[in-house]
Amino acid sequence: MKTSNLRNVICLFSILLLFSSCNSDKDITSFSIGNYSATIEAATNNVLLLLPMGTDLTNLTPTISITGQSVSPASGVPQNFTIPVPYTVKAIDGSTKMYKVIVRPDPNIILIQPETFTVCNTVNFNMIHVPGGLTFPTGMNDSSTATVPNAYWIAETEATYELYECIRNQQSDYGYSIGDPGLMGSNGTTANMNPQHPVTAVNWFSAVVFTNLLSEVLGLNPVYRCGTNIIKDNSTASNCNGFNITPDPLSNGFRLPTNNEWELAARWKGGNSSYGAIEVPAGSGKYWTRGNYASGANEHVWDNVSYQANLNQAPTQTVTWYNANSGGSTKEVKLKNPNALGLYDMSGNVSEWCFDTSSGGLQTNLLVRGGGYWDPAHFMSIGYKYFYTTPGNAVDTSIGFRLSRAVPANPNQAQTQI
């Protein structure tokens, strides 16, 4: 009996070996540089990749997926693409296929540089442009979609204590009263915190007042109003009774992102289809990180089949601070890898207030996104959201906020892309 089983195993192994040695698959299945994916022409074996005008083509690093044994030059090896570059894919059976990769700038793709603002002479922060009119998947299971109709800016990092303190110190000069002094990171002490930690212990109303004050300091129009009056103090914001706080749609000042703006920015991958990204709408060439991934991660943190956190959390820990690696406190912003838009800590470090509510009303159910240093792994999933079910004047040392800003509409300018 044992001899018969051994013979069966040997026969099966021989069949598999024979099959693998005859496998002639040798295709490039995807070719991308950064957030941009190429079109692969099967009839000609040409690979065409369009990049924004002004891109330096002399030293670009592609990501390549293939069927077969190898590709040469290999994926991840920088190349000079000022001229077409030949790539050879080798099959398991030893046969080869030649591809010609053509990379060129496209005048229809405009790369919008970040906005940089400076306050208090030395405190800088960047805002990243996000195009409008995009439809993207939502939820942990990517089962729904949403559309953000207008372009907007979103901050590269969570608001730091340095920025918050700089602006708060100017409140009396502009007739403002923010309210909460905020904390430097999770505990406010200088022993293991510094001003580059995100500010925490700022309630929702104080965050609203802060964005209006920051707008005035930088000569922009404040966004949030109670009726027709600009909200300049915490008590006015809280006494406005939630739903009466309205953003001025014509203002060019700072504000909190909406839920959909936050999730779009967290998911964006542009034309990069790698790591299980999903294409929405189908055939659009626009790809999005799945809802059970941390923002910027290359593997899921949450298994939608078994509903358990991924045991291999290394990919998640490259982009986020949470209870498995934070040591129970916030960290400086920009220490982890950014997502495809160049945004840091969209998952983890601190949770972030958004300007959205549940049907229970603004006083009781405030939307928070992103998860924080104290939270378990599944809170890092970008499809996960929760409502903070305490009044808007409550503070929490694991919650901060991120700035956003509308892009004023210009009827004479076509929608730009990134």
Q: If you count DSSP H runs as helices and E runs as strands, how many of each does the chain have, helices first?
A: 6, 27
Q: Can you tell me the mean pLDDT for 30-55?
A: 86
Tell me: the pLDDT tens digits for 148-191? 999 999 999 999 999 999 999 999 999 999 989 999 999 877 67
What CA–CA distance (Å, rounded) separates 341 from 330?
Answer: 22
What CA–CA distance (Å, rounded) separates 122 from 101?
Answer: 45
- Report pLDDT for 357: 61
> 10 Å Cβ neighbour count for 410?
9
The CATH class that applies to domain 112-418 reads alpha beta
3 state SS of 264: helix
- Report pLDDT for 366: 83
Measuring CA to CA, which residue among 201, 341, 190 is closest to residue 261?
341
What CA–CA distance (Å, rounded) separates 50 from 18?
Answer: 41
Q: Can you tell me the mean pLDDT for 320-327?
A: 92
* Domain ranges (residues) in the chain: 21-106, 112-418
Peptide bond into 73 cis (omega under 30): yes
Measuring CA to CA, which residue among 118, 208, 201 is closest to residue 166?
118
Q: Which residue has the tokens 């040409």?
A: 46
Q: Can you tell me the mean pLDDT for 349-377?
A: 80
Instruction: Give me the CATH code for the 21-106 domain, please.
Output: 2.60.40.2340
Q: Can you tell me the mean pLDDT for 349-378?
A: 80
3 state SS of 85: strand
Q: Can you tell me the mean pLDDT for 194-216?
A: 95
Measuring CA to CA, which residue among 310, 302, 314, 322 is closest to residue 374?
322
- Report pLDDT for 55: 86
What CA–CA distance (Å, rounded) separates 49 from 129?
Answer: 22
Tell me: the pLDDT tens digits for 86-135? 999 999 999 999 999 999 987 666 678 899 999 999 999 999 999 889 99
Flag whether pLDDT at 415 surpasses 50. no
By DSSP bridging, strand 134-138 and strand 385-388 are: unpaired
What CA–CA distance (Å, rounded) separates 197 from 392?
Answer: 23
DSSP-derived secondary structure for 316-380: HHTT---TTTSTTS---TT-SPP-TTS---SSSSSEEEEEEE-TT-TTT-EEEES--TTS-GGGG
What is the pLDDT confidence band of residue 394, given thresholds at 50, 70 and 90? confident
> What is residue 20's DSSP assignment?
H
Helices 204-217 and 161-168 pack at an angle, to 10 degrees, of: 70
- Report pLDDT for 371: 94
Q: Which residue has the tokens 């998911």?
A: 267
Flag whether pLDDT at 309 surpasses 60. no
